[in-house]
């Protein structure tokens, strides 16, 4: 599809539109956690599953066109964590998302995985769940960046702000 197709098929433009709240106040208030988040990145495809560690941690999905020689350009779409009240690790979660591409459990996540599959990147940082509360870390990142496809709720104040902005 090329740009001219979007002008004749406005529903296609609506499908690909994503709204982002870029709240500089949330960014200004962000304080790094007491542990270093050493982010790694792989393209989200089955062949990369074995590169993902079997430890707990935090992860994010980005859409990155990686075209036109831009050094860095991406859209943070989703943030999650592993190891909080479960036996899941980063590699298992990566595999869960690979399965969700064909067996939808969450419609919005399924849409994200399939719509931008050639441009989707999985970022992850190993985090020892005995040293840091992964649930709190995930919440902090969700509230700071407000990714549009994360289905977990934001904290009360941020969630209220998000609802107002979406009106």
103-121 pLDDT, tens digit each = 888 899 999 999 999 999 9
Residue 44 in this model has a pLDDT that exceeds 90: yes
- In DSSP notation, 30-89 reads ----SS----EEEESSGGGGGGS-SS-EEEEEEE----TT-SS--EEEEEEESSSSSS--
- In DSSP notation, 78-143 reads EEEESSSSSS--HHHHHHHHHHHTTS-SSHHHHHHHHHTGGGEEEEEEE--TTTS-HHHHHHHHHH
Report how far residue 122's alpha carbon sits from residue 148's, in angstroms, rounded to the nearest whole number. Answer: 16
Report how far residue 18's alpha carbon sits from residue 33's, in angstroms, rounded to the nearest whole number. Answer: 29
Residue 152 in this model has a pLDDT that exceeds 70: no
Residue pLDDT, tens place only, 4-13: 565 667 777 7
Report how far residue 34's alpha carbon sits from residue 23's, in angstroms, rounded to the nearest whole number. Answer: 23
Of 14-28, 69-83, 108-122, least confident by mean pLDDT is 14-28
Structure tokens at 66: 């990686």
Burial 119-153 (b: 16+ CB within 10 A, else e): bbbbbbbbbebeebebeebbbbbbbbbbbbbbeee
Indicate the average pLDDT of the chain. 87
Tell me which residue has tokens 């479960």.
86
Say what the pLDDT of residue 104 is: 86
Confidence (pTM):
0.89
More confident residue, 70 or 139: 139
Residue 162 in this model has a pLDDT that exceeds 60: yes
Say what the pLDDT of residue 109 is: 92
Q: Give me the percent of the chain exceeding a pLDDT of 70.
A: 92
Say what the pLDDT of residue 151 is: 67
Residue 1 in this model has a pLDDT that exceeds 60: no
* Parallel, antiparallel or unpaired: strands 120-126 and 40-43: antiparallel
Q: At the topology level of CATH, where does 35-165 sit?
A: GIY-YIG endonuclease (3.40.1440)
Residue 72 pLDDT level (bands cut at 50, 70, 90): confident
């Amino acid at each position: 599809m090329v740009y001219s197709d979007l002008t004749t098929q406005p529903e296609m433009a609506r499908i690909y539109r994503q709204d982002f709240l870029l709240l500089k106040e949330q960014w200004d208030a962000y304080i790094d956690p007491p542990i270093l988040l050493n982010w790694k990145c792989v393209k989200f495809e089955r062949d990369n599953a074995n590169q993902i560690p079997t430890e707990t941690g935090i992860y994010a999905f980005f859409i990155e066109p990686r075209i036109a020689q831009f050094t860095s350009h991406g859209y943070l779409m989703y943030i999650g964590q592993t190891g909080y009240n479960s036996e899941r690790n980063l590699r298992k979660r990566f595999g869960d998302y690979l399965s969700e591409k064909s067996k939808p459990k969450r419609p919005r996540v399924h849409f994200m995985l399939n719509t931008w599959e050639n441009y989707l990147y999985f970022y992850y940082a190993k985090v020892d769940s005995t040293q840091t509360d992964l649930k709190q870390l995930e919440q902090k990142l969700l509230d700071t960046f407000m990714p549009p496809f994360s289905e977990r709720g934001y904290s009360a104040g941020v969630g209220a702000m998000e609802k107002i902005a979406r009106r």
